[in-house]
Chain A
Amino acid sequence: MSTQPVAHEDVILPFRRAWAQAAKAGDVETLALSAAEDIVAMSPNDTTVYGRAEYRSWWEEYFQYFRITALDEPERSVIVHGDFALEHSAYMIAIVAVNGGSRIRDDGRTLTIWKHQPDDSWKMWQTIWNSTKPIGVGTNRYMSRLMQKKARPQRDS
């Protein structure tokens, strides 16, 4: 048990909703602005993303290949400790490949630390997520294929 006063009010919800709306709209700028300058984002089966610029690039690449058609949080909890807020949530997501293919569904969890800003807003500071689904299903098989394709040496034609 902490000796510090802890606020349980979900002060993060409006910021998470704005983020989710931007994710569904493919709005990279809003997504980038939701992140702190020194964000660290740890996407499964991918390298760690350091800083807002890399975070923006990650989303730019994502939206070249995918569109998010549904994103919901069946469970969330937020604990505020001073200028940090700990957000733990479960998500359900559906994405479609931009170039065709069937809809892909995934269920996962995310743990995100948000940082309070001088203008009273909150920005994502450290975020990590993973899927509850068995390996080989869910959204990341597509991301993985994409990365493997990109890493493959180009053949001379």
Chain B
Amino acid sequence: MSTEPIQIPHDEVREASMSGNISALVSMFEDDAVLMPPNDTTLYGKEEIQSWWEEYFTYFRVTSSVETEREVTLDGDQAYVRSSFSITIVPKQQGARILDDIRSLTVWNRRPDGNWKITHQIWNSTKPVGSGTNRYMTRMLQKKGARP
């Protein structure tokens, strides 16, 4: 087991989310990846993950994402990345800038060709309920009638 930094494309995920590059973002995931965004259903597989990000970027733009903590644990072809970051998003239609502080746990798997892909990812906010980025996502979902 090693805790040395490894060449997983962790920063590329952040860069793709900031540029709204959905294809780059989705390419980081395994075909059967599991994504668990807060206050939303679990997403299974690349197709659902792509739809989720498409919807996200319909409404929001990520203007900054600063990583404040990262711990990488490498165990053979598996890597566990725990990360904290401060994020700023801006609604595309209207509304004020939204700040959030987030922790995430991402599991990466190295394929035989040497490429790393995400198998599981989950995150949550350290901010009190009602603040942070997800209040907007929730409102959007409620507005769309996705919730009872």
Contacts and interface: CB of A to CB of B under 8 A. Distances in A.
A135 B129 contact: yes
B75 interface: yes
A144 interface: yes
Interface in A8-48: 40, 42-48
B135 interface: yes
Interface residues of A, number: 38
A13 to B, nearest CB: 18
A77 B129 CA distance: 29
A45 B80 contact: no
A86 B36 CA distance: 15
Contacts of B84: 48
A128 to B, nearest CB: 5
A149 to B, nearest CB: 11
A119 B123 CA distance: 32
Contacts of A126: 80, 82, 105
Nearest to B84: A48
Contact of A111 (B105, B109, B111, B112): B105
Given A48-B84, A88-B34, A147 B128 contact: yes
A83 interface: yes
Interface residues of B, number: 41
B1 A4 contact: no
B65 interface: no
Interface in B20-72: 34, 36-42, 71
Contacts of B75: 81-84
Given A2-B109, A88-B34, A131-B39, A45 B126 contact: yes
B14 interface: no
Contacts of B142: 134
A144 B120 CA distance: 27
Contacts of A3: 76-77, 110, 112
B147 A2 contact: no
Given A130-B39, A135-B130, A136-B129, A45 B1 contact: no
Contacts of A81: 75-78
Interface of A: 1-4, 40, 42-48, 81-84, 86, 88, 90, 109-111, 113, 126, 128-136, 140-141, 144, 147-148
CB-CB nearest 6 A-B residue pairs: A130-B38, A44-B124, A144-B129, A130-B124, A2-B77, A111-B122
